[in-house]
Structure 1
Amino acid sequence: MKQYIKSIVEINDNRLSRYFSFFIQALILVSIITFSVETIPDLKPQTRTILQSIELFCVIVFTIEYLLRIYVANSKLKFIFSFFGIIDVLAILPFYLSFGVDLRSLRALRFLRLFRILKLVRYNKAMNEFLNAIKSAKEQILLFIFITLILIYFAAVGIYYFENQAQPEHFSSIFDSLWWAIITLTTVGYGDVYPITVGGKVFTFFILMIGLGIVAIPTGIISSALTKSVDKKESE
């Protein structure tokens, strides 16, 4: 029985496994749609009742799926603390936390339902290839993140010394300057905070040039890792 359930729950080429996969994917999409509809103001009570019923059904199915995956897992603890195991828990957690508690106080936790989107990754081969690429390039990505954090701090310190006296209301401290550093290095440039001194403008120019490179680097790293992953799979 355990092997039979495992052949259905885990991704396989048999018909029942494909039906189960499509059913779970459809439920994930339905739950995300209902989550979005719930945010519409002035919904009729009947509509809210229907949405709550759909949510209850989805949670029951996701809970059964989660328990079945634990049951068929070779190493139960390994699955529970795995990426997909944690995602499965986060997908159903808000519902169970709401029992016996004022839901308004837990409204912030409702965003956890969005983790159901990540459940789709399990059923998407292309997304699995993408995850494998990220795993293979994790050292380079972590190094890039570390360097980026250093550059953000450097940019915040630099603009603070250039603009503090001219704009004390916007650059009163390095911590306030971090916002400018982030939106500048990411080339977003909201325009709510910008330099007015000559030194600040020149410094911003160099930071923007660095920012253009920062945007391109992770794309190159992941693209290279993804190409290697696909080539390795084709050669097998």
Structure 2
Amino acid sequence: MKEKIRIIIEDNTSPKGKVFDYLIQVLILLSLIAFSIETLPDNSVYTIEILDTFELICVIFFSIEYLLRIFVSNKPFNYIFSFYGIIDFLAIFPFYLRGAYDLRALRAFRIFRIFRALKLIRYNRALNRFSIAAKIVKEEIILFLIITGIFIFLSSAGIYFFENEAQPKVFTSIFHSGWWAIVTLTTVGYGDVYPITNGGKVFTFFILLIGVGIVTIPAGLVASALSKAREIEEIEDDEIKKI
């Protein structure tokens, strides 16, 4: 029986597994819609009762799913403390927390219901390619983050020395200048902090050019990694078909 349940829950290529996956996906989407409707200010008592009942139904299904995944897992604690295990837990625990306590402050924990959206990742094969892609470009991404950190520091220091005397309250220190460096290198440019000296403006121009390159690097890395991930997935599928 344990093996049959494992096939239904973990093998979405089987007919029963597909039905199970689709059922969970539909419940996740409907529960998120219901959660959003709950935030409307003029809900009637009848609407609130329907939403509460539907929430109870969803929590029952998600709780059963969570317990079944623990049951069929060869190493239950590995699942419980895994990424998906934590997401599955966060999707249900606010309901039980609300039922156990009647403190208004604890209502803030209901925000964790939005983590149900992340449960959809488990049931989308295309999204699982990102996991493979992340492993492929892990070293490149780490190097990119290090270089980005260096550029942020250099930009913060540079704009500080150009603008500190002209705007001592805005560019008080290199640390205070860090916000300008981040929004400039990411080409966001909120306009809340900007240079007024000629040197600062010229410096900003070159930082913007560098920022354009920094923004495009991750896109290229991810695109190439996803292509490689698709190739790996196709090879694995071919090997499964041969078996």
What residue is the counterpart of 1:169 in the other structure? 169
CA distance in 2, matches of 1:155, 1:53: 55
Per-residue deviation, 1:52: 2.2
Deviates more, 1:197-206 or 1:46-55: 46-55
What residue is the counterpart of 2:205 in the other structure? 205
The answer to whether 1:150 aligns with 2:181 is no
Q: Which consecutive aligned stretches of 4+ in structure 1 deviate over 6 angstroms post-superposition? A: none
**Is this contact kept in 1: 2:12–2:21, CA < 8 A?**
no
Per-residue deviation, 1:140: 1.6
What residue is the counterpart of 2:225 in the other structure? 225
The answer to whether 1:12 aligns with 2:37 is no
**Is this contact kept in 2: 1:11–1:123, CA < 8 A?**
no
**Is this contact kept in 2: 1:11–1:21, CA < 8 A?**
no
**Is this contact kept in 2: 1:8–1:20, CA < 8 A?**
yes
Per-residue deviation, 1:132: 1.4
Deviates more, 1:41-50 or 1:117-126: 41-50
Read off the aligned partner of 1:60 and give its amino acid letter: I
The answer to whether 1:185 aligns with 2:182 is no
Overall identity of the aligned pairs, in %: 59
Once the two structures are superposed, the pairs formed by residues 71-82 of structure 1 within 5 Å of their partners are 71-82=71-82
Q: Deviations over 1:173-220 (max 9, x none)?
A: 333322212211111111121111111111111211111111111111
Per-residue deviation, 1:98: 2.6
What residue is the counterpart of 2:240 in the other structure? none
Going from structure 1 to structure 2, the CA distance change for 1:103 and 1:194 (only over 3 Å counts) comes to farther
What residue is the counterpart of 1:26 in the other structure? 26
CA distance in 2, matches of 1:168, 1:93: 49
Per-residue deviation, 1:103: 5.2
What residue is the counterpart of 2:118 in the other structure? 118
Read off the aligned partner of 1:83 and give its amino acid letter: F
The answer to whether 1:37 aligns with 2:37 is yes
Read off the aligned partner of 1:228 and give its amino acid letter: K
TM-score of the two chains, using structure 2 as the length reference: 0.89
Once the two structures are superposed, the pairs formed by residues 58-97 of structure 1 within 5 Å of their partners are 58-97=58-97
CA distance in 1, matches of 2:59, 2:182: 38
What residue is the counterpart of 2:241 in the other structure? none
Q: Deviations over 1:38-65 (max 9, x none)?
A: 2222332332232222222212211110
Going from structure 1 to structure 2, the CA distance change for 1:219 and 1:62 (only over 3 Å counts) comes to same
TM-score of the two chains, using structure 1 as the length reference: 0.91
Q: Deviations over 1:9-50 (max 9, x none)?
A: 113322221111100000110111122222222332332232
SS at match of 1:183: helix
What residue is the counterpart of 2:127 in the other structure? 127
CA distance in 2, matches of 1:235, 1:153: 44
Per-residue deviation, 1:231: 1.6
**Is this contact kept in 1: 2:31–2:55, CA < 8 A?**
yes
**Is this contact kept in 2: 1:91–1:112, CA < 8 A?**
yes
SS at match of 1:98: helix
CA distance in 2, matches of 1:150, 1:99: 49
Read off the aligned partner of 1:126 and give its amino acid letter: A
What residue is the counterpart of 1:106 in the other structure? 106
**Is this contact kept in 2: 1:3–1:72, CA < 8 A?**
yes
RMSD: 1.8
Extract unaligned runs of 5+ from structure 2: 237-243
